[in-house]
């Protein structure tokens, strides 16, 4: 997937920002604000409150840019300020916890796939194997986001618990690396993967439901076939 | 080596376990022995192979949903806050 490419190097941007250069500020605002709103939504109850937190963050960035020492990337630094601002304003609205606590509170430990789609663990021949297995999706040539599936996917993401939604949005929608996500949200690599896994699994399930793309395995037929093969092998070896 | 047991004597993975470690696999976070077990399973299981493909498709498809801009009103607000900041 193509990402917007910006030619201006970070050091130049920082220098320009220190000079209070308006176009440098505009470049940064356009580059980071959409993802900032997504992250802020994890801490505050409304979109309006998230936009306010983003605005407050940009002012803090302007105030603090002279003290920015480049120990982290500019992006990481901006998002760390955002997290602090959003946490504080979330606290004012009595809905505020660190992202890691939010993730934990939301985690229901649900399985990725409905357990009824597998044979039971005590099945004699194929314990825990698919009964209703995934089938190939009839994806249009232009990709999943071309047709109605775009709405299905957008709705599935919107319905995710907020911690999962934030992680999948940053990783898969915005294209961030796992390190960047861990850094910005102050979560461990393991927690990041759990959230990403749950989110992707739910989106996959939604697409599968929409396509009705499943195939039931007839284990009676499979077993009969195996018996036939065994019998045939025995006859052959006589 | 004690840890070799995990590879050679561990039971084969069941599909119900495989679907839980797909993201760890795609992220390169599975220990090598676990990754090999998973790959062995994939070699014989069309259901899990399809599942992996679909998880990959999900991961690769969502970039097109990115919002490349913020609402104009918000942007205007930010730019005027910036000008206010500059003239102080």
The tens digit of pLDDT for each residue in A29-85 reads: 999 999 999 999 988 889 999 999 999 999 999 999 989 988 888 999 999 999 999
Closest chain B residue to the Cα of A129, Cα to Cα:
B15
In a domain, A110, yes or no: no
Domain count for chain A, please give it. 2
Domain count for chain B, please give it. 1
User: Which ranges of chain B does DSSP label H, i.e. alpha helix?
Assistant: 4-8, 15-18, 22-26, 32-44, 46-61, 72-87
Q: Distance between CA A206 and CA A210 in Å, rounded?
A: 6
- The closest CB to that of B64, out of A1, A26, A115, belongs to A1
Same domain, A92 and A120: no
Which pLDDT tens digit goes with each residue over A172-226?
Answer: 999 999 999 999 899 999 999 999 999 999 999 999 999 999 999 988 888 888 8
Question: What is the b/e burial string over A153-169, where b = at least 16 CB atoms within 10 angstroms of the residue's CB?
Answer: beebbeebbebbbbbbb
DSSP, collapsed to helix, strand or coil, labels residue B11 as coil
Same domain, A119 and A208: yes
User: What domain range includes position A197?
Assistant: 115-237
Same domain, A59 and A126: no
In a domain, A2, yes or no: no
In a domain, A3, yes or no: no
The CATH code of the domain that includes A28 is: 1.10.1740.10
pTM of the model: 0.86
User: A63: which chain B residues are within 8 Å (Cβ-Cβ)?
Assistant: 85
Q: Distance between CA A94 and CA B80 in Å, rounded?
A: 30
Same domain, A122 and A76: no
Question: What is the DSSP secondary structure assignment for residue A21, as one 8-state letter?
Answer: -
Contact status, residue A75 vs residue A13, Cβ threshold 8 Å: no
């Amino acid at each position: 997937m193509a990402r917007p490419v910006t030619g201006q190097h970070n050091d130049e941007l920082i220098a320009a920002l220190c000079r209070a250069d308006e176009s440098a500020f505009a470049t940064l605002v356009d580059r980071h604000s959409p993802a900032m709103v997504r992250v802020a939504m994890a801490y505050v109850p409304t979109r309006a409150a998230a936009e306010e937190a983003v605005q407050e963050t940009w002012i803090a960035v302007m105030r603090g840019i002279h003290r920015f020492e480049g120990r982290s990337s500019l992006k990481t630094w901006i998002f760390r300020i955002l997290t602090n601002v959003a946490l504080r304003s979330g606290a004012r609205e009595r809905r505020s916890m660190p992202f890691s606590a939010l993730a934990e509170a939301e985690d229901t430990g649900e399985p990725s796939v409905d357990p009824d789609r597998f044979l039971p663990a005590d099945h004699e021949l194929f314990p825990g194997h698919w009964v209703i297995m995934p089938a190939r999706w009839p994806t249009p040539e232009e990709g999943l986001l071309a047709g109605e599936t775009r709405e299905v996917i957008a709705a599935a993401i919107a319905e995710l618990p907020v911690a999962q939604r934030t992680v999948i949005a940053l990783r898969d929608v915005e294209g961030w690396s796992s390190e960047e996500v861990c850094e910005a949200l102050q979560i461990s690599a393991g927690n990041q993967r759990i959230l990403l896994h749950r989110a992707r699994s739910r989106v996959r399930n939604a697409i599968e439901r929409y396509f009705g793309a499943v195939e039931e395995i007839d284990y009676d037929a499979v077993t009969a076939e195996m018996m036939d093969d065994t019998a045939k092998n025995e006859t052959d070896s006589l | 080596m004690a840890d070799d047991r995990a590879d050679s004597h561990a039971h084969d993975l069941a599909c119900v376990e495989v679907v839980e470690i797909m993201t760890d696999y795609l992220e390169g976070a599975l220990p090598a022995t676990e990754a090999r077990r998973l790959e062995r399973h994939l070699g014989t299981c069309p259901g899990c192979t399809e599942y992996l493909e679909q998880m990959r498709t999900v991961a690769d498809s969502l970039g097109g949903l990115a919002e490349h801009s913020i609402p104009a009103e918000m942007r205007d607000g930010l730019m005027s806050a910036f000008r206010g900041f500059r003239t102080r």
